[in-house]
Amino acid sequence: MESFERRLAQAKLECERLRAAVSSVVIGQDEVVEQVMWGLIAGGHVLLEGNPGLGKTLLVRTLSACLDLRFSRIQFTPDLMPSDITGTNVLVLSGASQPERRFELHRGPIFGQVVLADEINRATPKTQSALLEAMQEHAVTIAGQRHVLEEPFFVLATENPIEMEGTYPLPEAQLDRFLLKISVRSPDEQQLQRILRQTTGRANAAPERVLGVESVLRLRELCREIAVADPVLAYAARLVNASSPEQASATPLVRKAVRYGAGVRGAQALVLAAKAVALLQGRGNVAFADLQRTALPVLRHRILRSFEGEADAISTDHIIQELVASLAIRPEDVERTIQEAG
């Protein structure tokens, strides 16, 4: 068995190759690509929120191509049915002489390995729940029969923040199932120039396969092995606790603008995402900085604002940033000694 260091080094190399491959196609979204990789490595699902045309679908497709994973896309529409996602049994007649009737499972797009759930907020809650169930269970039940989905099973859902009319926003309890919620920003001018140069010229070559199924699974396993020291775990717990207004450690802003804070699942997601960050950096341990870096995408969809927070237009991002800035990382005397040392 290879040593941990070798595996870690290997994993870092593979991830860098994957990142480079995806970034070569998806321009100007390096941070998004990075965070999507967190989700992939941590074994969670990712919710992408951004305006149309920012490359969300391209990102998923490219990622899928680089990973040599089976890609499927679900375009959510209001008339989409759950069976359109999961699949259904179809009556099939076979045999010329004596036709045989049997039911044959026609698998739905959920059986892909990298599933793009486009505009998930457009489908009805019933249809949404079919996907969310599969995300949670990594299995679907069709006509009473349970079908386990093939690993790695990675769902990337998108939300269009512009068109909210006629949509069904995901409830907070369902949002909690996504490890990360990534905000896809518009590219700056230089990035836009690169995009234009790349996409309006000759057709580019398809991205090459970088990692296979085994590699992804290995990455996920290695991610779980990343060490988290007690002080770091304590910090993660403090951070999540501080997001709840009823906790003593909550900041005044949290008490004012938050109705419900992140729960246990949020803390788990925080640590898993931080492990993924550490792995991507080739470290075998999680650092305080990893937690601070993953706090925003992990917690932004898990904090429910109060009426006052909404009325004052206090964003969850602002709340999380304030939390991270105000919460002490280390014990007070250690911090004081560090500051005195200059």
Rounded to whole angstroms, the Cα distance separating 202 from 162 reads: 31
* Cβ proximity to other proteins, 69 vs 286, nearer residue: 286
DSSP class of residue 109?
G
The residues pairing with 90 across neighbouring beta strands, listed in sequence order, are 104
Q: Judged by CB, which is closer to other proteins: 21, or 228? A: 228
The CB-of-275 to other proteins minimum distance in angstroms stands at 12
Q: Taking CB under 8 A as the rule, does residue 228 contact other proteins?
A: yes
Q: Select the span of 20-28, 78-86, 129-137, 328-336 touching other proteins (CB under 8 A).
A: 328-336
Q: How far is the CB of 342 from other proteins (least distance, A)?
A: 8
How many beta carbons lie within 10 A of that of residue 91, not counting itself? 8
Residue 142 lies near other proteins (rule: CB under 8 A): no
- Residue among 318 and 330 whose Cβ is closer to other proteins: 330
What burial class does residue 57 get, using C-beta atoms within 10 Å of its C-beta: 0-12 exposed, 13-18 middle, 19+ buried? middle
Which is closer to other proteins, CB of 157 or CB of 223? 223
User: What residue ranges in the chain does DSSP mark as E strands?
Assistant: 46-50, 71-75, 87-94, 100-107, 114-118, 139-142, 145-148, 154-159, 180-184, 258-260, 304-305
Task: Closer to other proteins by CB, 79 or 225: give it.
Answer: 225
Is residue 8 within the footprint of other proteins (CB under 8 A)?
Answer: yes
DSSP secondary structure string, 40-61?
HHHT--EEEEE-TTSSHHHHHH
> Is residue 279 a contact point for other proteins (CB under 8 A)?
no
For other proteins, the binding residues in 166-225 under the rule CB under 8 A are 225
* Least distance CB 300 / other proteins (angstroms): 24
| Concatenated DSSP letters of 208-235 | PP---HHHHHHHHHHHHH-B--HHHHHH
Q: Smallest gap, in angstroms, from Cβ of residue 302 to other proteins?
A: 25
Q: Is 342 in the site for other proteins (CB under 8 A)?
A: yes
Contacts to other proteins from residues 281-310, by CB under 8 A = 281, 283-290
Would you count residue 3 as binding other proteins (CB under 8 A)?
A: yes
Beta bridge partners, 22, equal none
Contacts of residue 152, Cβ cutoff 8 Å, sequence gap at least 6: 40, 43, 69, 113, 213, 216, 217, 220
**What's the chain's length in residues?**
342
Determine if 230 is a binding residue for other proteins (CB under 8 A). yes
Stretch that binds other proteins, among 88-96, 107-115, 175-183, 228-236 (CB under 8 A): 228-236
Task: Specify the residue, 114 or 280, whose C-beta has the smaller distance to other proteins.
Answer: 280
DSSP 226-272: -B--HHHHHHHHHHHHHTSTTSTT--HHHHHHEEE---HHHHHHHHH
Backbone angles phi, psi at 157, to 5 degrees: -105, 150
Number of residues that bind other proteins (CB under 8 A): 30
Among 13, 139, 206, 229, binds other proteins (CB under 8 A): 229
Q: Which is nearer to other proteins, 60 or 329 (CB)?
A: 329
**Which of 232, 262, 271, 295 touches other proteins (CB under 8 A)?**
232
Tell me which of 100, 188, 189, 333 binds other proteins, using CB under 8 A.
333
Is beta strand 139-142 parallel, antiparallel or unpaired with respect to 87-94?
unpaired
Please, which residues bridge with residue 154 across strands?
114
State the Cα–Cα distance between residues 302 and 179, nearest whole angstrom: 10
Residue 341 binds other proteins, judged by CB under 8 A: yes
Nearer to other proteins, 165 or 333 (CB): 333
DSSP 143: T
- Comparing CB distances to other proteins, the nearer of 264 and 338 is 338
Binding site for other proteins (CB under 8 A): 3-5, 8, 225, 227-232, 278, 281, 283-290, 330-331, 333-334, 337-338, 340-342
